[in-house]
A and B are shown apart, each in its own frame.
Chain A
Amino acid sequence: MSFDKVWFIIKRNILKNKFNSILNIILYVIIFNMLLVSVGVLGFFANYSEASQRYNRNFRTMMVYENDESDEKDIVSLFSGYEYVEMVINQNEYCMHMSFVDDKGNYDIDLKACNEKNVPEVIYGRQINFDNNDEILLPEKMLLYNNYTEEYDIIEAKNLIGTSIKCSKENFDYNTIYDEVENKIVSGRKDIGQTIIDFEVVGVYDSALYFEESYVGYISEKMSKILHASDIKDKSGYTYETIWVLSDTVENYNKLKQIAEENSLDYMVVTDIYERVKLFCIVGYIIIVGIFIFHFIVSSVLFKIETKKDRFIHNVLNICGYRHKEICKIVSAKYFILQFLSFWISIPISIVLLNKINFIFYSSEHMGGLVVGITPLAIFVCLILFIGKIIWVYYKYYVMTGKYTISKISDKKRKK
């Protein structure tokens, strides 16, 4: 039986029962979204675990305090800030860091990741459009690595508002950039009531280093640099209490510990991130398996309700001489169309949801701010599940035999 004939039979059934069809699609969209999002998150875990194992690093976080009474620090934001400053760029793109001092003595930062077409880049799934002066959540204090002085600065950076300037490693010309900065940024700041009293372009460099390999690897590599910055000083003389550092190996960790002790700093080992992530992954897997089971239960129930509703049509078809196989085709096709529609509606919704979840993970203490591209994997896995389900539905209906009836009861029900 060709598809046009099958469609001829089911189209009225779908279109005439609009309410049922829409309700079904909504329910399918909900469960598909659950599935897509959960698989997406699963992909995240898988990526993280895999990358961690590949590098075989023992990630440790260490929090170093100066002697101070206040112990509570915004761990997440400091950590996120570190990432932003050090790691914004994809491969073959160049980053320019500029630091400014305003009339209140505070540092402000403009940084821009742009490719050769000067298009703002996606940073961990979140697009930052500098041209629109989007405010980006950043910590109050950040470490900024100065390429010229090869020192780390601790800086105040509540707002990261900037103007993009196209530059590349090859055509980098300090004077041109300086002029452009003056024209675009400094004058722009005056417009919004800020007076920039000094600024310097601190460097342009290829920061693609480890992003392609793995974000985990990237962090790991950067740790060693941070460990050299033991004599961190603030140019404006402001005293900062907290510094966040990560160590990738036990040796570096011990070194860090030594630096802290030498400088009379209190320190505290927060946790072993990898172990925490492992635990988080296990819980995540359990939740996801639960969602899978829930998904199948809900689909089965919906399928049962659907086929029960359509039983009348199937009986009539049977009376008209349709074979069981042909009726199965019709049942599966209807199921397929509804699910197919729901599936494609679910994808954009789930992408939005995943991006939101990305943000949560991004700023998550547990994840250490890690985010991995996860949507394609989610779609792929769900597509496989979706095809599997259609086969399962066909099989399920196919094995139900001898259930056609034209009893008076069904007729009366129909009349009602």
Chain B
Amino acid sequence: MSKDFLILKNVYKRYSDDIIPINNISISFKMSKFYVIKGASGAGKSTFLHVLGLLEKVDEGEIIWCENDITKLNGDKVSEYRKKKIGFMPQSGLLIPEFTALENVMIPILLNKDIKEAEKLACDLLEKVGVYNRRNHFIKQLSGGEQQRVAIARAMANNPECIIADEPTGNLDEDNERKIFELFKQYTLSGKCVICVSHSDKAEEYADEVLHYKKGEIIL
């Protein structure tokens, strides 16, 4: 039984009195597991992922990562976490259109390696996600599925402990959806964790655990 590596304790996040995207959530995540979060639009799933990805701060509660309280971390320390431990895949990928697929994947790798090594690693990752042959194409020249796969490759670039993906298969056909979930599943088999928000029913087939998000709360 793997150990809990990410623990949230009584976490609150409020935008206003009526809008409370995270309402007293306490939950723990384990390594080697593929979590799928489902829920209606506007329930607060994305905010929840942003909090997990340390992109937003919580109003109350604690976030513990491998026994370290990271709730109050600031600036460079947060960047350090994102660099080494978290691979964040935002909604619709957020790839830089001026860059090629390869260059997009190289961006996070450049933080740790030099350009040549980064290029080599990025090529390996693109091969893994099946878009190696499109590596020199600009983002606009790629299909939606290919873009998502490039985004996944970028999220996996620094071999993070946890990949957080926000609707990675939105607007994709079934085939591409399956390919992406398969990639996530494979990633968890290497002892890492994937937390993914998805509306797709296919996600449930691959998920180790499905969490239902409703009005800022998680229903197990």
Mark contacts of A288-329 with chain B using CB atoms, 8 A cut-off: 1 yes-contact digit, 0 otherwise. Answer: 000000000000000000000000110111111111111000
User: In the complex, are the beta carbons of A324 and B98 less than 8 A apart?
Assistant: no
User: In the complex, are the beta carbons of B115 and A321 less than 8 A apart?
Assistant: no
Chain B residue contacts of A313, Cβ below 8 A: 96, 98
Q: Is B19 an interface residue (CB 8 A)?
A: no
Mark contacts of B71-104 with chain A using CB atoms, 8 A cut-off: 1 yes-contact digit, 0 otherwise. Answer: 0000110011111101010111011111100010
User: In the complex, are the beta carbons of B91 and A411 less than 8 A apart?
Assistant: yes
Question: Nearest Cβ distance between residue A200 and chain B, in whole angstroms?
Answer: 75
Give Cα A322–Cα B83 distance, bound, in whole angstroms. Answer: 7
Q: Is A117 an interface residue (CB 8 A)?
A: no
Question: Nearest Cβ distance between residue B117 and chain A, in whole angstroms?
Answer: 12
Chain A residue contacts of B103, Cβ below 8 A: 8, 12
Question: Nearest Cβ distance between residue A130 and chain B, in whole angstroms?
Answer: 56
Which residues, 1 to 15 on A, are CB-close (under 8 Å) to B? 1-2, 4-5, 8-9, 12-13
Which residues, 157 to 208 on A, are CB-close (under 8 Å) to B? none
Surface stretch bound by A, among B106-114, B172-180, B206-214: B106-114
Q: Is A17 an interface residue (CB 8 A)?
A: yes
User: In the complex, are the beta carbons of B82 and A316 less than 8 A apart?
Assistant: no
Assuming the contacts A12-B103, A316-B107, asked whether A321 and B79 have C-beta atoms less than 8 A apart, the reply is: yes
Q: Is A132 an interface residue (CB 8 A)?
A: no
User: In the complex, are the beta carbons of B98 and A406 less than 8 A apart?
Assistant: no
Give Cα A312–Cα B81 distance, bound, in whole angstroms. Answer: 21
Question: Nearest Cβ distance between residue A350 and chain B, in whole angstroms?
Answer: 32
Task: Kindly identify which residue among A8, A17, A320, A324 contacts B75, using a CB–CB cutoff of 8 Å.
Answer: A324
Question: Nearest Cβ distance between residue A400 and chain B, in whole angstroms?
Answer: 13
Question: Nearest Cβ distance between residue B165 and chain A, in whole angstroms?
Answer: 12
Question: Nearest Cβ distance between residue A78 and chain B, in whole angstroms?
Answer: 63
User: In the complex, are the beta carbons of B115 and A324 less than 8 A apart?
Assistant: no
User: In the complex, are the beta carbons of A320 and B107 less than 8 A apart?
Assistant: yes
User: In the complex, are the beta carbons of B79 and A323 less than 8 A apart?
Assistant: yes
Closest B residue to A17 using CB positions = B98
Closest A residue to B90 using CB positions = A406
Chain A residue contacts of B76, Cβ below 8 A: 323-325
Q: Is A416 an interface residue (CB 8 A)?
A: no
Chain B residue contacts of A325, Cβ below 8 A: 76
Chain B residue contacts of A406, Cβ below 8 A: 50, 55, 90, 94
Number of interface residues of B (CB under 8 A): 34
Assuming the contacts A8-B115, A12-B98, A313-B96, asked whether A321 and B91 have C-beta atoms less than 8 A apart, the reply is: no
Question: Nearest Cβ distance between residue A285 and chain B, in whole angstroms?
Answer: 44
Q: Is A104 an interface residue (CB 8 A)?
A: no
User: In the complex, are the beta carbons of A312 and B79 less than 8 A apart?
Assistant: no
Interface of A is mostly: helix
Q: Is A70 an interface residue (CB 8 A)?
A: no
Question: Nearest Cβ distance between residue A328 and chain B, in whole angstroms?
Answer: 12
User: In the complex, are the beta carbons of B80 and A319 less than 8 A apart?
Assistant: no
Chain A residue contacts of B110, Cβ below 8 A: 1, 5, 8-9
Q: Is A127 an interface residue (CB 8 A)?
A: no
Closest B residue to A2 using CB positions = B114
Give Cα A325–Cα B99 distance, bound, in whole angstroms. Answer: 22
Chain B CB within 10 A, most for which of A323, A325, A326 = A323
Chain A residue contacts of B198, Cβ below 8 A: none
User: In the complex, are the beta carbons of B75 and A321 less than 8 A apart?
Assistant: no
Q: Is A408 an interface residue (CB 8 A)?
A: yes
Question: Nearest Cβ distance between residue B185 and chain A, in whole angstroms?
Answer: 23
Q: Is B32 an interface residue (CB 8 A)?
A: no
Q: Is A16 an interface residue (CB 8 A)?
A: yes
Question: Nearest Cβ distance between residue A213 and chain B, in whole angstroms?
Answer: 57
Q: Is A239 an interface residue (CB 8 A)?
A: no
User: In the complex, are the beta carbons of A5 and B115 less than 8 A apart?
Assistant: yes
Chain B residue contacts of A401, Cβ below 8 A: 75
Question: Nearest Cβ distance between residue B10 and chain A, in whole angstroms?
Answer: 24
Chain B residue contacts of A411, Cβ below 8 A: 90-92, 94
Q: Is B38 an interface residue (CB 8 A)?
A: no
Assuming the contacts A4-B115, A5-B115, asked whether A316 and B79 have C-beta atoms less than 8 A apart, the reply is: no
Chain B residue contacts of A13, Cβ below 8 A: 98
Chain A residue contacts of B95, Cβ below 8 A: 316
Assuming the contacts A13-B98, A316-B96, A406-B55, asked whether A323 and B107 have C-beta atoms less than 8 A apart, the reply is: no
Chain A residue contacts of B114, Cβ below 8 A: 2, 5
**Among all A-B residue pairs, the 5 with the closest Cβ atoms:** A321-B83, A16-B98, A321-B82, A320-B108, A323-B79
In the complex, besides A9-B107, A312-B94, A323-B76, 20 extra interface pairs with C-beta distance below 8 angstroms are: A1-B110, A5-B110, A5-B114, A5-B115, A8-B103, A8-B115, A12-B103, A13-B98, A316-B94, A316-B107, A319-B53, A319-B55, A321-B108, A322-B79, A324-B76, A404-B55, A406-B50, A406-B90, A408-B91, A411-B94
Taking Cβ atoms with an 8 Å cutoff, the residues of B that contact A are: 46, 50, 53, 55, 75-76, 79-84, 86, 88, 90-92, 94-99, 103, 106-108, 110-111, 114-115, 154, 157-158
Complex A-B: 15 CB contacts under 8 Å: A2-B114, A5-B114, A12-B103, A13-B98, A17-B98, A312-B96, A318-B79, A319-B53, A320-B107, A323-B80, A326-B111, A406-B94, A408-B46, A411-B91, A411-B94
